[in-house]
């Protein structure tokens, strides 16, 4: 029975990743450069309800989380919300995810940036169908887009990679999401 369950999980994960990828463009245009989709994932709540789908875009595909997080290459994260998320809940989730992936010094450096980020989000929170994109350019920072419109720029070069740590850090939201954003199939065989 365990073999059957494992096989079903792998098949459902592969089908699910393919259907999520179809929701996002294969490339993301960032000014004069195009970024390629590295991978996709979905975030489920503790009660197994879909909260959002997410796609990672990089200059070149990479399955190495550490190289992505310690590099300084352009990148983008696109999040498509599937459920209502209040500003309070969004902030709580983000802080929980960052707290377990960043050291105290990084969290302290990031505190003012997170305060700015919270002012850029919609005052009523996110609803199903909303899209948030975090587009990082070295030397310029991370431009935040909400439903296709620029909400502002976070000038920090560190923010984008700290933000990515919630999915790619040492203690990701979950292993399947990390593998999805790295473009690794659920069975571990790669893309």
For residue range 20-52, list pLDDT tens digits in order: 667 899 999 988 889 999 999 999 888 888 999
Per cent of the chain over pLDDT 90 is 48
State the average pLDDT over residues 167-187: 86
Q: What is the set of domains in the chain, with CATH numbers?
A: 2-181 (3.50.70.10)
Among the listed residues 181, 172, 134, 185, the one whose alpha carbon sits nearest the alpha carbon of residue 38: 181
Q: In the 8-state DSSP scheme, what is residue 126?
A: B
Query: For residue 32, with 0-12 CB atoms within 10 Å meaning exposed, 13-18 middle and 19 or more buried, which class applies?
Result: exposed
Is the overall model pTM greater than 0.75, yes or no?
A: yes
Q: How high is the pLDDT of residue 117? A: 86
Q: How high is the pLDDT of residue 16? A: 43
- Provide the token pair at 72: 């300084």
For residue range 83-124, list pLDDT tens digits in order: 888 888 888 888 888 888 888 998 898 888 888 888 888 888
Which regions of the chain does DSSP assign to beta strands (E)?
27-30, 33-44, 50-58, 75-81, 131-137, 141-146, 149-154
Among the listed residues 30, 29, 77, the one whose alpha carbon sits nearest the alpha carbon of residue 53: 77
């Amino acid at each position: 029975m365990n073999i059957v369950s494992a096989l079903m999980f792998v098949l459902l994960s592969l089908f699910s990743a393919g259907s999520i990828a179809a929701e996002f463009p294969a490339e993301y245009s960032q000014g004069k450069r195009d970024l390629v989709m590295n991978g996709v994932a979905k975030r489920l709540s503790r009660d197994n309800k879909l909260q959002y789908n997410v796609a990672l875009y990089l200059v070149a595909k990479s399955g190495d989380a550490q190289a992505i997080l310690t590099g300084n290459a352009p990148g983008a994260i696109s999040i498509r919300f599937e459920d209502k998320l209040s500003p309070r809940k969004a902030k709580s989730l983000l802080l929980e995810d960052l707290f377990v992936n960043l050291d105290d010094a990084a969290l302290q450096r990031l505190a003012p940036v997170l305060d700015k980020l919270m002012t850029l989000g919609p005052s009523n929170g996110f609803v199903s169908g909303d899209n948030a994109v975090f587009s990082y350019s070295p030397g310029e920072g991370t431009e935040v887009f909400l439903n296709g419109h620029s909400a502002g720029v976070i000038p920090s070069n560190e923010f984008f990679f700290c933000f990515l740590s919630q999915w790619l850090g040492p203690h990701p939201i979950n292993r399947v999401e990390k593998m999805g954003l790295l473009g690794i199939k659920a069975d571990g065989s790669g893309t």
